[in-house]
Structure 1
Amino acid sequence: MTEQRERVAEFERRLEGGEELSDRSVKEIVEALRPQLQELARKQVELAKVELAPVGRQAGLAAGLLVAGAVFLHLFVVFLAVTGIYLLNEVGGLSLWLSALIVSGILLVIGGVLAGTGAGRLRGLDPKPRRTISTFQQNVEWLKGQFRS
C-alpha cells in the first residue's frame, strides 16, 4: 500500500512539473518514429548529393585540365626527342631543329600552365559537406531530446 502511495506522489510531482507522462515503451516510441527517421535519413542523403554535386563538377574540370596538361607535356617529350634526332642529324644547320625546339618550348609552356591551373583548382576544393554534417548533428540532438522527455 505504501508503494502505491509513493507512485501516486511521484505521479503528482511529475504533473506539477509540467512533464507529460507516457505509458509507451521505448520500443513503441522507436516504432512510431521509424518512418520519420527513415525520411530524415533519405533527406540527409539527398542534401549530401546536392551539396557535393558542384564540388564534383569542379573536380571533374580540374581533372580534365590535368589530363590536358599531361597530354601537352607528353607531346613536349615527343617533340623534344624529335628535336634531338634532328639536332644530331643536322649539326651544322639550325633551321629544322630550331623550329622543332621552338614548338617543343611552346608545348611545354601550354602544358605547364594547364597542369598548374588544374592542380590549383584541385587544391582549392573543399569536399566536406558542411551543411549535411550540421543538419545531421542537429537531428541527432533533436532525437536525443525526444528520448529524454
Structure 2
Amino acid sequence: MTDQSERVAAVTREVEEGPPPSDRSIKEIIEALRPQLQELVSKQMELTKAELAPSGRRAGLSIGLLLTGAAFMLLFTIFICFTVVYAISLALPLWLSFLIVSVILLVLGAILAGAGAASLRKVDPVPRRSIRALRQNIDWVKGQLKR
C-alpha cells in the first residue's frame, strides 16, 4: 500500500509543480518551431481559400442574377412603358396612365430585388473550419512553448 501511496504522491507533486523548466531559450524554441509554423500557416491559408471559394462563387452568381434582373427590368421598362402608357391614355388622362405604369414597374422591381437579396442572405461568408483549425493550431503552439 505504501508503494502505491508514494506513487500517487509523486504524480500529485508533478501535476502541481508542472513540467520541469527547459534549458532552451525562447529564441531557440521559436527557431526550432519556425519550419513547422511556416508550414502550418501555409496549410491554414490553403484551407481558408478552399473553404471560401464556394461561398464566393455563390455570392458572385447571386449578384450576377441581381444585376441581370435589373438590366432586363430597365430594358423592359424602356420598351414597354411607352406602349402601355399610350394604350392606357386612350381611355384615361395621360398623367394617370404614367402613374399606373410606374406603380406596376415598382412592384416588378421590388420582386426582382427581393429575390436577389434572399439569395445573398443564404451565402455564409464565415470560414468556420479554418477558424476551428486556427484555434487548434494556436493551442498546439502554446503547448510547444510550454515544453
Q: Same fold, TM exceeding 0.5?
A: yes
Deviation at 1:20, TM superposition (A): 5.5
CA RMSD, Structure 1 to Structure 2 (Å): 3.2
Residue by residue over 1:68-124, the C-alpha shift from the partner in whole angstroms, topping out at 9 and shown as x without a partner, is: 110122123213442366348x737xxxxxxxx9xxx79x75x66554332211011
Per-residue CA deviations over 1:35-84 (Å, capped at 9, x if unaligned) read 11011001111000000011011011101110111012212321344236
Q: Which amino acid aligns with 2:23?
A: D
The residue that corresponds to 1:147 in the other structure is 145
TM-score normalized by the length of structure 2: 0.68
Q: Using the alignment, how far apart are the partners of 1:143 and 1:69 within structure 2?
A: 50
What does 1:67-86 align with in structure 2 at a 5 Å threshold?
67-83=67-83, 86=86
| Corresponding residue of 2:40 | 40
What is the TM-score when the length of structure 1 is the normalising length? 0.67
The residue number in structure 2 matching 1:91 is 90
Amino acid at match of 1:119: A
Confirm or deny: 8 A CA contact 1:68 1:115 kept in the other structure.
no
Q: Which amino acid aligns with 1:46?
A: E
Give the number of aligned pairs.
122
Structure 1 segments (4+ residues) deviating >3 Å? 16-22, 84-88, 111-116
**Kept after mapping to 2: 8 A contact 1:69/1:114:** yes
Choose from 88, 110, 130 the match for 1:132: 130
Distance 1:63 1:79 in 2: 24
Larger RCO: 1 or 2 (CA < 8 Å, sep 6+): 2
Which position in structure 2 is the counterpart of 1:65?
65
Whole-angstrom distance in 2 between the partners of 1:124 and 1:58: 9
CA–CA distance in 2 between the matches of 1:82 and 1:71? Answer: 18
Q: Supply the AA of the counterpart residue of 1:53.
A: A
> Matches of residues 14-33 of structure 1 in structure 2 within 5 Å?
17=14, 19=19, 22-33=22-33
In structure 1, the partner of 2:94 is: none
